[in-house]
């Protein structure tokens, strides 16, 4: 059964889904549909499957459309009976917390970037995003050892996608100087083929 994925090589949420698909051996089941999703330009074709006009959106064989990335990742994991959503209490809550942490950081970074690109960005808003991002990085730096010790989960994937997005869109922030232990963890996880193949690219 093939599944259609509204996809872009730039979206970190799509990347999360693609990393899951690679890790779970499901990537050949996905038919990628290049879909442009921009806040200021709702995409009529995409909206037929997801009225929120957001990617990723996964359309199953029978037309049932799944969103958002949180739901799609769990769906793929269930389909493959995979290990990315641990079931045992301790690992489960840690994985879900890191998943929310990574997605929350991404949400803030995307809003930060939108504000930064405006003609007249609001200074205090930019400062607040920077403050929160650095606080997240310091917190995650303290958790780097726990990240390294736990088997790969959706939490690891979400956090790596947020750090990849920092490299992609916030190159001047030098996040590695704020979180050197996290940087070491990231350089290990980044070497996995699923992460290499899905590095964000322009175009």
The reply to whether 50 sits near ligand GSH by the rule CB under 6 A is no
Given CA atoms 59, 87, 199, 197 in this order, what sign does their dihedral have? negative
Exactly one of 3, 5, 30, 37 binds ligand GSH (CB under 6 A); that residue is 37
Asked whether the beta carbons of 45 and 4 are under 8 A apart, the reply is no
The reply to whether 133 sits near ligand GSH by the rule CB under 6 A is no
3-state secondary structure (DSSP) of residue 94: helix
- Exposed / middle / buried, residue 5 (Cβ in 10 Å: 0-12, 13-18, 19+): buried
The reply to whether 36 sits near ligand GSH by the rule CB under 6 A is no
Number of residues in contact with ligand GSH, rule: CB under 6 A? 13
The reply to whether 77 sits near ligand GSH by the rule CB under 6 A is no
Asked whether the beta carbons of 182 and 144 are under 8 A apart, the reply is yes
Part in contact with ligand GSH (CB under 6 A); list of ranges 23-31, 52-60, 87-95, 186-194: 52-60
The reply to whether 86 sits near ligand GSH by the rule CB under 6 A is no
- Kindly state the smallest distance separating residue 97's Cβ from ligand GSH, in Å: 16
**Residue whose CB is less far from ligand GSH, 68 or 130:** 68
β-pair partners for 39: none
- Beta-strand ranges (E) seen in the chain are 3-7, 30-34, 57-59, 65-66
The reply to whether 70 sits near ligand GSH by the rule CB under 6 A is yes
Part in contact with ligand GSH (CB under 6 A); list of ranges 65-73, 115-123, 127-135, 140-148: 65-73
**Of 98, 105, 97, 100, the residue nearest 166 (C-alpha):** 105
**Residue whose CB is less far from ligand GSH, 13 or 112:** 13
- Kindly state the smallest distance separating residue 34's Cβ from ligand GSH, in Å: 13
The reply to whether 108 sits near ligand GSH by the rule CB under 6 A is no
CA 33 from chain center: how many Å? 18
Number of Cβ atoms within 10 Å of the Cβ of 71: 12
- Measured CA distances, 50 to 11, 20, 36, 115 (Å): 16, 21, 13, 25
Part in contact with ligand GSH (CB under 6 A); list of ranges 64-72, 87-95, 153-161, 182-190: 64-72
Residues that bind ligand GSH (CB under 6 A): 11, 13, 37-39, 53-56, 68-70, 103
């Amino acid at each position: 059964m093939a599944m259609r994925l509204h996809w872009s090589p730039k979206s970190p949420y799509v990347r999360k889904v693609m990393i899951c698909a690679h890790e779970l051996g499901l990537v050949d089941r996905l038919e990628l549909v290049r879909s442009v999703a921009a806040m200021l330009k709702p995409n009529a074709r995409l909206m037929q499957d997801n009225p929120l006009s957001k990617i990723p959106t996964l359309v199953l064989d029978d037309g049932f459309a799944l969103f958002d990335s949180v739901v799609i990742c769990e769906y793929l994991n269930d389909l493959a009976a995979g290990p990315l959503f641990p079931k045992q209490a301790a690992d489960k809550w840690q994985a879900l917390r890191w998943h929310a942490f990574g997605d929350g950081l991404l949400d803030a970074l995307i809003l930060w970037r939108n504000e930064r690109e405006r003609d007249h960005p609001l200074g205090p808003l930019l400062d607040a995003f920077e403050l929160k991002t650095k606080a997240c990085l310091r917190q995650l730096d303290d958790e780097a050892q726990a990240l390294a010790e736990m088997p790969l989960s959706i939490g690891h994937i979400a956090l790596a996608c947020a750090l990849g997005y920092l490299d992609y869109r916030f190159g001047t922030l030098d996040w590695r100087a704020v979180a050197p232990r996290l940087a070491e963890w990231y350089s290990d996880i980044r070497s996995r083929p699923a992460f290499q193949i899905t590095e964000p690219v322009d175009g």
